[in-house]
Amino acid sequence: MSRKYFGTDGIRGEIGKAPMTPDFVLKLGWAAGKVLASQGVPLVLIGKDTRISGYMLETALQAGLVAAGVNVRLLGPMPTPAVAYLTRTFRASAGVVISASHNPYQDNGVKFFSADGTKLSNATELEIEKYLDKDLETVCSKHLGKVERIQDYSGRYIEFCKRSIPSDVSLQGLRIVVDCAHGATYQVSPEVFTELGADVIKIGVEPNGININKNCGATSLAFLQENVKHYRADLGVALDGDGDRLMMVDENGEVVDGDEVLAIIAAHRHENGTLGEHVVGTLMSNLGLEKAIEGMGLTFHRADVGDRYVMEIMRKTGSILGGESSGHTIVRDRIATGDGTIAALQVLHAIIDSGKSLKDLKRVMAKYPQTLVNVRIKEKIDLDASSAIQKAVKTAEKQMGDRGRVLLRASGTEPLIRVMIEAQDESETKQLANMIADVVMQEAG
């Protein structure tokens, strides 16, 4: 069965428009509570990012959970991976994050973690959706859930992150600019790097409810690049609004993206004998990453786009490392979800061990030129059923032969069609990507 509300990363949308309305989120809390209550007397942790709408949705969500007889602990602003970690640590039945990740402040969303800190299974999400179609029935008063607001959980996550690298590794001598995107990491991630000895310059740490991800963070790197050069830092770390993505820049302000981060960690862990034989990327991963991983004598796997699909392949192959070009990096023997802070620490560990700069380390892979064009659409279109789109794709593939590849896919979190061309010649990628994008735009009306 296909899911009606859940996408690849929970339920997300513009505030005030279905499904991101208070009444729907109240019902969602109740529906999730009914599913969880069937597994015993449950406890659910709720964290959120810094969007102004988070207060409204937090209130609605907890009301729904309480109506279903679920006890709730409110964490306040907390990175998505921190909620995943704390859910497992406190033996909660589930964790919930109110966030739209890298999206602008007008959007928000709700995503769930299971008791073991991983994304909910498709089957569980479908079960929740079944309850969304039923009438809300409150449990009797004596069985209503209770709500407690917790103030001291951030310190536990900071210590957890610090323990993700060996205790004898110090960041002393490194100057790092950390951009928290005015999001959920603003109180914790700079503290992690500071306590490990780094000289930290904090930016993007003044959330006001509407500036999350605005011209900063992992999706807008110019702000970080300027500050790295201004402060003559060794490198920059950029996180997104909920802290599960990482992008970096080197001492010259050059971007180090998710593929390069994955390659650096893979090379370091492989050299130390702590990687295994498999690394997982996605259909969007650069061909240069695949070549680099294979050059290490390892096997590279491509999953569908979305960290839940990366994790599925990681489980099947026993991989401990996987990720996406966009910056989701999963180091599975550290935490079972994408964590930008922990991924950054893995790179910093490689820098300390090797004595090399980030600029030198990223040379482990040679990127193939890649052009990505996002076409905004009003309604879903069937890409396979459009003869015009398929003709454009075949034309591009014929022109490139074995020198490149075409990837066409709908975004799982936004109303977009993504057109990606990867080839040895950069001008050719741009020409072909724009050609296909124009056809998609015409078909989308």
Q: Give the catalytic positions in this structure.
A: 101
| Cα dihedral value 103, 108, 32, 58, nearest 10 | 130
The burial class, CB within 10 Å (0-12 / 13-18 / 19+), for 125 is: buried
Is residue 139 within 8 Å of residue 30, measured between CB atoms? no
Cα–Cα–Cα angle for 357, 362, 363, rounded to 5 degrees: 105
Question: Minimal CA–CA distance to 297: which of 270, 262, 315?
Answer: 270
What is the token pair recorded at 318?
């026993």
Question: Minimal CA–CA distance to 205: which of 230, 188, 227?
Answer: 188
Helices (H), 68-164: 80-89, 122-132, 154-162
Q: What are phi and psi of 34, to 5 degrees?
A: -65, -40
Q: What are phi and psi of 297, to 5 degrees?
A: 85, 20
Half-sphere exposure in the Cβ direction for 192 (13 Å, CA) = 29
Name the 3-class secondary structure at 252: coil
What is the per-residue burial (b if ≥16 Cβ within 10 Å, else e) of 167-195?
eeeebeebbbbbbbbbbbbbbbbbbbbbe
What is the token pair recorded at 175?
């100057």
Is residue 235 within 8 Å of residue 250, measured between CB atoms? yes
Strands (E), 150-225: 175-179, 199-203
Inter-CA distances, 185 with 60, 207, 239, Å: 23, 10, 8
Name the 3-class secondary structure at 138: coil
